[in-house]
Structure 1
Amino acid sequence: MPKKWDELEEIQPAALKMIKNSIVKGRVAHAYLFEGMRGTGKRDAAILLSKALFCESPVDGYKPCETCLNCKRINSGNHPDLHVVEPDGLSIKKQQIKDLQEEFSKKGMESSRKIYVIVDAEKMSTGASNSLLKFLEEPGAQTVALLLTENPQKMLPTILSRCQMIMFRPLAPDIFIKKLVENGVDPDSAPLLAQLTNNVHEALDLNNQDWFAQAQKIVVKLYEVLKKDPLEAMVALQGEWFTHFKEKDQIDRGLDLLLLVFKDLLYIQLGKQEQIVFIKEAGRLQQFALQTRTRSLAGQMAAVLEAKRRLHANMNPQLLMEQLVLKMQEGSAFV
């Protein structure tokens, strides 16, 4: 069920204020670009704006009433003058935009207004992008385009220039943690999940994975053996890391977890224990922090960030991890 106006306004006040002003002042643009991370409410905002524009009796002149026929039909996904385009496989195809244009060449089924939402707009093929550009250049008087994206840099500048941009900020950690706990997540696990994703559904999925629970233990253990000697760390890599972190996205997740271990150690050394996210490992981390120099932690964090960059540049994952372990052992990193 899409969020109601007040719910979304609580987590995205700036974005909702811009949308409200557009409606109240009668200055709804013909095209908007909603930009922000996954899970920040872009799709909910697109549905809310659509409802507000179709609503038969908006509250205070801009909030959807949620009870009229138009609001109910949009909530159920079957309003004839609201069209949602999503990637067909890995991309949005040219034919999908052509079908949309054809649909919009017809008169509105129940009003002169038509709205279309393009989800993951950065995934439009070149042909689809060019077709959409022509569409944006000749907008109908009552046509509104809502483009949702996580990566506007992957879109044509000519498309971006024709849209009014509205930013959707990452959810504040305290709000996100509260939402996770409300959804049944252990309060000791929620801060860690909030550091890894800004999407409630993704966080809940991670929380329920045995793979993720095991990943946390392997990462902390790798740090522990790193303090001993390179040989033991290499054995840990071969014995546990490579058998658990197999896919590229899993390795990336493992590196994120390792980075959070170092951040926690730094927080402990700075006397900011309340900010650590590996809460269940707090006792062990306290001991580790006493045995590690602050200067070394900064270098190790830099090494992990460099490893993440190389991973995304398609470096061999096994070689990458072996080099990272050796790098973190250099220069007597540990006391």
Structure 2
Amino acid sequence: ITLQPGDLVIVAATRQALTDLLAGKPAMLNDIWRQGVAETDDDTGDSQLGLVEAVIAPGSRMAGRTVEMLGFRRLTSAVTLGIQRRSRMIRAKLGEIRLEAGDTLLLCGPVSAFRSLRTSRDLILLEWSQSEFPTTTKALLARVITLAMVAVAAFGIASITLASVIAATAMILLQCLNHRQASRALDLRIYLVIAAALCMGTALELTGAAQLLAEMVVLAAEPYGTLAILSAIFLAVAILTNILSNAATAVLFTPIALSAAEQTGAEPFPFLLAVIYAANCAFATPIAYQTNMLVMGPGHYKFGDFLRFGGPLVLLMWAAFTIVAPWRFDL
């Protein structure tokens, strides 16, 4: 089929596919939004367009009528992009489809217009479905800011914390994202988890509990020989580094490891390596390392996700060190 000027094309797509298409073609999105402005004289001036799903309520006055008959744009300040009926997309011209109770409408319009729809008795707004179109025109600028943040932190010009704050501020000031998008990215549950874990780690360190645990590990493994002590030190450091910071754990265990090497008459080098390697097995909790916390929010990860996937990796590192150490250091 060869398309000709004036042909009417009916598009059937998932919401994600439609969002990706329109986000990549801002001109098309603006044309869709503004095509009814001349008829309605309704232009809110809100440049931030979004998507939301709404269901035709039982007994709604909209049932039995088409969006054209209703003057839907004037009524809701939103454009209907699609209609889904009983989990199926209707392949027909939108203006000719008579609405039924239970139909799900995909609406496009200013975010401010959606707030007024919450009180509508004819439409049930699905709050969880509301999203804004990504500003793809700022994509290149956002990439540059992100790369600059990574470069500044990598070359030691500034700490990752300071670089991240500056980059986030630049994103907002340069309109790569707005304050609503930025505030939605802040998950208070993450801060509660991190604060609780940091408090626990600090308490272990200041009360001497961490020191006591370290000494108990060495005493428990001592009867089984040098390799058992080395393996136990690695495992203890790997566990505590996910609760304390890796630097604090390394400082705590280094003198203990050297003392254990002296008591057993072994070379101190493998014991120091055990502390160094294990202190960097920071995979099992979000507080173990700064980058874990950086990806926790954007990736929508939970504390249990780190434990589920990072825990086995820590055990794998421990097992590998325990197997290789006797061969490498003649223990």
Shared topology, TM-score over 0.5? Answer: no
Specify the structure having the higher radius of gyration (Cα).
Answer: 2
Normalising by structure 1, what TM-score?
A: 0.32
